[in-house]
Amino acid sequence: MGTILSTRAVSKRFGDVIALDDVSLEIREGEFFTIVGPSGSGKSTLLRILAGLETPAAGRVRLRDTDITDVPANRRPTCMVFQNLALFSHRTVGENIEFSQKMKGVPPHERREHALDMMRIVRLPESYYGRRVTHCSGGEQQRVALARALASDPEILFFDEPLSSIDYRLRKILEVEMKDLHRRTGKTFVYITHSLEEAMVMSDRIAIMKAGRIVQTGTPTDIYYRPANRFVAEFMGEVNVFELANGQIAELGIAAPTGATGYLAVRPEFLRKLNDGERADVRFPATVANDYMLGSRTHYHLDTGKRILVAEVAAGQAAEIIVGAKAEWGFDLSDAALLDE
């Protein structure tokens, strides 16, 4: 896939606050690209610049080979789905979806057929065409907003945390539907969210932001298992981070087999209870302090005497792990990520 949208050295300030600091990225045509980061990291500002709703103080934005830095949003082949959806509450579902076509002077019967096509794509019943959007549920309004965005036939769809105000069960359904919609339409999706779960489930690639900069870009698997630094490792879910110093894993008081300095990051699913004679590159005694059932898996807090570690075990493998019991635990270096910072 070629690059459809890119930035080069984009910066933006709001007074004394540096929102973006020399940000460069490339988004590939047809991919689901998600930008995540803590509050104040600059992800919303970056999305607004990509969409043409803000102008950078420095740097350029390109659509394929064309510089669009100063092109306003309404003259770009893009569309934004906002967090509050921005639907016309006094209009019907059909009228909302047809809006862009109406502005182009498309005849009413053609607008209706196009709107019904869009409704089929987002799996809204045809009977909803004449329904007021205020009579639709939250999930149905999400689908109306998606259909309206698709109706303008944009090359790129931008999403500003569109699922953030929806309850957990419906959000899980819409995550799956969003990913399926992306696959069926072949459009380029650029999405921002504060939900790591959304990013992991839906994205082809993820960009992690911190303090106005992109600190890592990669596939969900790359970022989760091969983080660029300690911030990414800790931001992208539960992780055990060990400091390496003077040839030892300091918190465990044992030699560091790598002989390296820095940090060692190990996801909870790679810590395991060792049976008699079972080998592990790193092993240590720990007491199971508590357990936390998470559906198909269980998290255990392991007390080493110096700190608490987190282990994750599939529900069917948890029978031999008893709260209060002391045992040998360990992990292999091939399952750990060595971090410089």
Looking up residue 287, the CATH number of its domain turns out to be: 2.40.50.100
pLDDT band at 340 (very low <50, low <70, confident <90, very high): confident
What's the DSSP call for residue 7? E
Check whether 24 has a pLDDT greater than 70: yes
Residues 132 and 161 reside in one and the same domain: yes
pLDDT score recorded for residue 290: 95
Torsional sign, CA 190, 167, 121, 52? negative
Residues 185 and 332 reside in one and the same domain: no
Of 196, 215, 231, the last residue of a domain is 231
Residues 9 and 33 reside in one and the same domain: yes
pLDDT score recorded for residue 259: 63
188 close to 220: Cβ distance less than 8 angstroms: no
Looking up residue 195, the CATH number of its domain turns out to be: 3.40.50.300
Residues 155 and 172 reside in one and the same domain: yes
Minimum mean pLDDT among 13-17, 227-231, 244-248, 305-309: which range? 244-248
Residues 126 and 183 reside in one and the same domain: yes
- pLDDT > 70: what percent of the chain? 98
Residues 170 and 221 reside in one and the same domain: yes
Of 192, 208, 231, the last residue of a domain is 231
Check whether 283 has a pLDDT greater than 80: yes
pLDDT digits (tens, 9 = 90+) for 137-174: 888 888 898 899 999 899 999 999 888 777 788 888 88
Residues 242 and 227 reside in one and the same domain: no
Residues 255 and 202 reside in one and the same domain: no
pLDDT score recorded for residue 315: 76
Check whether 210 has a pLDDT greater than 90: yes
Mean pLDDT of the chain: 91
pLDDT digits (tens, 9 = 90+) for 291-334: 998 888 999 999 999 899 999 998 777 667 889 999 999 999 89
Q: Which of 142, 200, 150, 148 is nearest to 171 (CA)?
A: 142
pLDDT score recorded for residue 262: 84
Torsional sign, CA 277, 278, 284, 286? negative
Of 197, 231, 265, the last residue of a domain is 231
Residues 158 and 293 reside in one and the same domain: no
pLDDT score recorded for residue 195: 85
Check whether 19 has a pLDDT greater than 80: yes
- pLDDT > 90: what percent of the chain? 66
pLDDT score recorded for residue 166: 76
pLDDT digits (tens, 9 = 90+) for 28-56: 999 999 999 999 999 999 999 999 999 99
pTM for the complete prediction?
A: 0.89
pLDDT score recorded for residue 212: 96
**Whole-angstrom distance, CA of residue 242 vs CA of residue 14:** 38
Residues 139 and 248 reside in one and the same domain: no
Give me 94's structure tokens.
Answer: 């059909």
| Domains: count for the chain | 2
| Interacting residues of 341 by C-beta distance below 8 A, sequence separation 6+ | 229, 230, 262, 263
Residues 70 and 88 reside in one and the same domain: yes
pLDDT score recorded for residue 341: 77
Give me 231's structure tokens.
Answer: 């911030």
Q: Whole domain around residue 188: which residue ranges?
A: 3-231
pLDDT score recorded for residue 133: 92
C-alpha distances (whole Å) from 237 to each of 59, 187, 222, 241 are 32, 29, 13, 12
What is the pLDDT averaged over residues 74-92? 88
Q: Locate tokens 């269980």: which residue?
A: 298
**Whole-angstrom distance, CA of residue 272 vs CA of residue 305:** 18
Residues 171 and 250 reside in one and the same domain: no
C-alpha distances (whole Å) from 325 to each of 3, 160, 259 are 54, 47, 31
Check whether 288 has a pLDDT greater than 70: yes
pLDDT digits (tens, 9 = 90+) for 86-114: 888 889 999 999 998 998 899 999 999 99
pLDDT score recorded for residue 319: 64
Give me 119's structure tokens.
Answer: 């409704």
